[in-house]
Amino acid sequence: MSSRKPRGYSVNDFLGWNEDEELELQPRFQRRDVWSPKAKSHLIDTILRDLPIPIIFVRQNVDPRRRKTIREVVDGQQRLRAVIAYSKDDFPIVKSQNPAFGGKRFSELPEDVQQRFLDYEFSVVLLQEVSNAEILDIFARLNSYAQKLTPQELLNASYYGAFKSTVYKLGHEHLEFWRQNGILQDSQIMRMAEAELTTELLVVMLVGIQRRRNKINKLYYEKDDEFPERTRVVKEFKSVIDALDACFGKTFRETIFGRRVLFYSLFCAFYHTMFGIPDTPELGTGGQCRQPSTSTLRVIRDSLMELNRRYKNLSDEQSIQNFVDASQKATGDREQRITRVKMILKYIKKALSSME
């Protein structure tokens, strides 16, 4: 039995083996090529950025008749098919994935970038003197440890275009904000919780407050090729996060708004105050305070800290009890979300009125 220690083989190694008919991409135990053009482009973008990709498993045997070493791809055929196809100019890189090289085929890349592509090393486990039965047993064991994908992880595996790239860029750019304020834990971020939360917030900005996970698949699908609102959405998203950070500072995680469910509501309330949430008439007219000043944010903070105290002290005021219930039961329902946002807006409007 061969060593299971991964070895490094370059893209050019695989291209050479394929040219010399020493690479078998689809042995009988492999799946067919099912990757979309965007999925292939995403892999090429990953390689050009010199980021890691999953390990490739190859079974190596010597063909005594042809006196050749034959390499059967056990796991990784779609990755290698994409690399080989790109080297032959079969498809361009998608612009939304890589603005620098978007629209370019391999032959159109600068020479130094072509070299970087060819030199990229895959991590490969080489299986020698291994039977089909042993291979099936290896992968049965590997798959026995696989976790069920979250809805966000399924979206990540299905889409590679403009909307997804925007979601992931915004989510990653604000990782420290999520962590420092206790909104998301590292274990949640490992399962793409920052992308999930960012997606939910973008849904609000584009189509209004919905029940949890409503409209998400539709937006990923409809805005995969083009996302015309991207510039506006990115600018407004960052403006709201900056306002929240300036409003609460280091005390954020000590408030009830550090909880993910209430952070969602706080973001919605600030977004409505600054820009106006679409298609959500229950909230009334928004967009009355697009760029709150430092003094305005200070007054808003004081007002929201009053709500924070009443929540924590379990005030017997009915509206507060309703707010608490909406924060703890069926929190993803649209009605509960509306209840929470309206309460936070009430305290924001109270602050703004006091300054008139």
Phi/psi-derived region of residue 88, left when phi > 0, alpha when psi is between -120 and 50, beta in every other case: alpha
Residue 318 has a CB neighbour count (10 Å cut-off) of: 8
Task: Report CA 227 to chain centroid distance, whole Å.
Answer: 16
Burial-class residue 353 by CB neighbours within 10 Å (0-12, 13-18, 19+): exposed
319-345 average pLDDT score: 97
Own/partner contacts of 250-255, CB < 8 Å, gap of 24 or more, are 252/180, 252/181, 252/182, 253/180, 253/181, 253/182, 255/304, 255/305, 255/308
The whole-number pLDDT of residue 308 equals 97
3 state DSSP class of 125: strand
Q: What is the pTM of this model?
A: 0.84
Q: Are 224 and 38 a contacting pair, CB within 8 Å? A: yes
Question: Which of 29-43, 91-105, 186-200 is the least confident region?
Answer: 29-43
Q: 189 to each of 68, 142, 166, 194, 257, how far by Cα in Å? A: 46, 23, 17, 6, 18
The whole-number pLDDT of residue 64 equals 84
Residue 32 predicted with pLDDT over 70: no
Quick: pLDDT tens for 58-97: 999 888 888 889 999 888 889 999 999 999 999 999 998 9
The whole-number pLDDT of residue 25 equals 87
Quick: pLDDT tens for 226-243: 999 999 999 999 999 999
